[in-house]
Amino acid sequence: MKITMLAYPGLTPLDLMGPLQVWSLWPDAEIQVVWKTTDPIMTDTGMAIVPTHSFEDSFDKPDILFAPGGTKATFELMADVTTMAFLKAKGANAQWITSVCTGALLLGSAGLLAGYKATTHWAAHANLEAFGAIATQGRYVIDRNRATGGGVTAGIDFGLALLAAIAGDELAKTVQLSLEYSPQPPFNSGTPEEASEETIQQVLARFATAIS
Amino acid sequence: MKITMLAYPGLTPLDLMGPLQVWSLWPDAEIQVVWKTTDPIMTDTGMAIVPTHSFEDSFDKPDILFAPGGTKATFELMADVTTMAFLKAKGANAQWITSVCTGALLLGSAGLLAGYKATTHWAAHANLEAFGAIATQGRYVIDRNRATGGGVTAGIDFGLALLAAIAGDELAKTVQLSLEYSPQPPFNSGTPEEASEETIQQVLARFATAIS
């Protein structure tokens, strides 16, 4: 199982780390984290990560292509010719085309979501339609060979669900127990449906600043 | 709020990334990810991360000291004189002494959990007693100024809970909504209480191999 996970300067690293940690326990997986070069890239947390491979040295035909999200950096990357060409080329050969959070906007911009149901971070949901995607509510959405996760932390649920779809429930359950994934969020504030209006407005204001 | 987060070769990066992503949205937080040097360090996922500061250049008196877990690397680090001296020195001045997963064993080995209730990854729970800690079930356990999270993914719950305890519920709710933290695990297999006996045995076998 050849897995190509995009990384880029400014990404939200938890988008990447959720499925990466899940899939690192998949015995059949060979995982590459790729960017234009293998120099360290800064994330939106202030800590850098190091891609394992450059675009050039990455798998010709990945079984899974994955794109993580972010804020301003992600919106800018949608206009980056090299990255869009890379996603388009790898997407043409991939068995699965996947994302977490606003990574879906990168797939969409590369023409990979037209006619497919997809999800993204709740605050960016409206952006999906511009790419001909069918914006769909869901912690993760699987439509044929497109699998997209919601915002940031959805990457863990998405990663386990895709693992189960490909390798079976038993392995996914073992990985879930290995990572002690029995979440207990301290508040009911993880979606706009649950959160207070004041909390929603604060997040939207932060998001508007972060993408401008 | 000065935060010192330990990193080390072989760590489980999701242990670190959960609270790091949560706390990166804390306006008052200054976060350092520290190791002996600032050279890239390999994680147990095959992707390297880059510490922001060396031990030498890290905060004298962090408000929060944090240790993430891992498997073999973590058990070996318990015997590393430099790291234990570092944790002991910073712990003596920190307002909060904290961990996720087997990071608790590092705190314990540095003498920082004696007489405190603490938790760790379910498969390592019995190891806590050797350090005089009071092994306690919980997604996260807060006892006076010690805050310890369970295995790997517990770091998100732990990070939000500690943020709420220090900075108040409103900010924590805003961060939870920003990260769309409304988990929907695909299976009920996140704890030994929920998982099947076969799944438990597989994880224990993997854990035994991973620490040997």
DSSP character string of B105-155? HHHHHTT--TTSEE---GGGGGGGGGGT-EE--SSEEEETTEEEE-STTHH
Tally of CB atoms within 10 A around B134: 15
CA A42 to chain B, closest CA, distance in angstroms equals 9
Is A117 among the domain residues?
yes
Across chain B, what does the average pLDDT equal? 96
B195/A contact by beta carbon, under 8 A? yes
pLDDT value at position B210? 83
Q: Is residue A212's pLDDT more than 80?
A: no
Is B169 among the domain residues?
yes
Structural domain total, chain B: 1
pLDDT (tens digit, 9 = 90+) per residue, A42-51? Answer: 999 999 999 9
B186/A contact by beta carbon, under 8 A? yes
Q: What is the dihedral of CA A40, A75, A68, A38, to 10 degrees?
A: -20
CATH number at residue A75: 3.40.50.880
Chain B residues inside the 8 Å CB shell of A161:
186
How far apart (Å, rounded) are the C-alpha atoms in residues B177 and B20? 16
Question: Please, are residues A142 and A161 in contact by the beta-carbon 8 Å criterion?
Answer: yes
The one-letter amino acid code at A187 reads F
- Residue of A5, A101, A113, A133 marked active site: A101
Chain B residue closest in CA terms to A123:
B178
Q: Do A152 and B189 touch (CB under 8 A)?
A: no
Hey, of A17, A58, A169, which one would you mutate to test binding to chain B, going by the most B CBs within 10 A of its CB? A17
Is B194 among the domain residues?
no
Chain B residue closest in CA terms to A182:
B190
Residue B11 belongs to what domain range? 2-186
Task: Reply yes or no on whether B209 is catalytic.
Answer: no
pLDDT (tens digit, 9 = 90+) per residue, B167-185? Answer: 999 999 999 999 999 999 9
Is A31 among the domain residues?
yes
- Kindly provide the b/e burial profile for residues A18-43, where b requires at least 16 CB atoms within 10 angstroms of the residue's own CB: bbbbbbbbbeebebbbbbbeeebbeb
- Region B85-110: mean pLDDT is 97
Q: Is residue B11's pLDDT more than 90?
A: yes
Q: Do B48 and A47 touch (CB under 8 A)?
A: no
Query: Strand A140-143 and strand A146-149: pairing?
Result: antiparallel
pLDDT band of B207, cuts 50, 70, 90? confident
- Between residues B209 and A4, the one the model is more confident about: A4
Is A196 among the domain residues?
no
Closest by alpha carbon to A66, among A98, A39, A40, A90? A98
Q: Give me the total of CB pairs closer than 8 Å, taking one residue from chain A and one from chain B.
A: 220
Is A42 among the domain residues?
yes
Is A67 among the domain residues?
yes
- Region B33-59: mean pLDDT is 98
A33/B contact by beta carbon, under 8 A? yes
Q: What 8-state DSSP symbol labels residue A34?
A: E
Is A193 among the domain residues?
no
Q: Is A67 helix (H, G, I), strand (E, B) or coil?
A: strand
